[in-house]
A and B are shown apart, each in its own frame.
Chain A
Amino acid sequence: MEDKGKLSRRDFMKIATLSIGGLISLGWAVPAVAYVVGPAVQGNQAEEWLRLGATSKIELGVPTLFKVTVKRQTGWIVNEEELSVYALTEDGRNYIAMSNVCTHLGCRVRWIAEQESFFCPCHNGVFDKQGNVVAGPPPKPLNQYEVKVENDQLYILGG
């Protein structure tokens, strides 16, 4: 009926239907995938500098506990969370700031001044003044925050 190599009406309609249908399906599928995976791939919110307090509160050589509230947003819900941070300086110029979260299973460690160590109440993890593991199950030292001092105030980078 038709010349060889020439597109029949039926085949043309078939191709047109398939390609338009395919385009419309893509028009749904691509936004749908972005929409579904979106919150999973949006990284943590930008970290910001959090003010711990005046550097004058930190005694030389004694880890000092600071509490700071951070806002965390998940979806449309904003929660306030309290971070506890031990700040330490040996010379009044260089500071380190350590999380009080035990690196074993997330319990809160406490500084016991008489023993010059951090103790974790859950599984007897012990850390020294700098947060290095001394005894017990913790696999690595206490996490440290990046710090900066501005106008005699100590800041950590967190969020």
Chain B
Amino acid sequence: MVTRFANWLNERTGWRAVWEAIFLRKVPKVNWFYTLGSATLFVALNQAVTGILLTLYYVPTPDHAYDSVQYITTQLPAGWLIRGLHHWGASAMVVLAVLHMLRVVYFAAYKYPREFTWFTGVFLLIVVIGFGFTGYLLPWDQKAFWATTVGTQIAGTPPIIGDFLLRVMRGGENLSALTLARFFGAHVWVLPAALMLLVGVHLYLVIRNGISAPPRKED
């Protein structure tokens, strides 16, 4: 029954070829460090699921942000868990992405023909850090407020354009409702779109080029 449906679907969609390309491709003999990319992808999935759930209750305005986060954490069933997964997942994301990058460097996997995969990875790391930076403000507590004050101040340090950059990030002179709203917008719309696009290209290239074997001494 299941096989018959799978065949029926395959005839119309060709899903088996896609499945084989993704999961049944040949890989060289590698070690556990080669799972760090998948681990990062898994945590990204966790961030997406828990993040979507958080937006069901979170309200990004100065008069509601803090209270809605408290409501999620203390009143809702499993709210503490959803928020906790998102909170710790954020740190795990950065750690895993960096470890994955170190593995690629250490095993020289960035070389021909995988340079472009590396570039997309670099942008992915920037996106991940952007997620961390914008997400940090959203709970709208003292730590969030002052961390973003300092963070945007740093963006304001370059000569000539610094002041303009700072104003663009804050949406004005000071941290305000505008800052919170634009950080939220960046966190839930702009960055996820960028992430999905880049992950798509990154994974396509991993599958197309195959993964590199650990280099030997003689190479």
Contacts and interface: CB of A to CB of B under 8 A. Distances in A.
A76 B78 contact: no
Nearest to A78: B67
- Report whether over half of chain B's contact residues are helix, strand or loop; otherwise say mixed: helix
B64 interface: yes
Interface in B49-89: 49-50, 53, 56-57, 64, 67-68, 70-71, 75-79, 81-82
A13 B50 CA distance: 28
B42 to A, nearest CB: 9
Contact of B57 (A30, A31, A32, A75): A75
Interface residues of B, number: 18
B67 A76 contact: yes
B209 to A, nearest CB: 24
Question: What 8 A-B pairs come out closest when comparing CB atoms?
Answer: A31-B78, A76-B71, A76-B67, A34-B77, A38-B77, A34-B78, A35-B78, A38-B76
Given A38-B79, A76-B67, 14 more contacts: A28-B46, A28-B50, A30-B78, A31-B78, A31-B81, A34-B77, A34-B78, A35-B56, A38-B77, A38-B78, A75-B71, A75-B75, A76-B68, A76-B70
Interface of B: 46, 49-50, 53, 56-57, 64, 67-68, 70-71, 75-79, 81-82
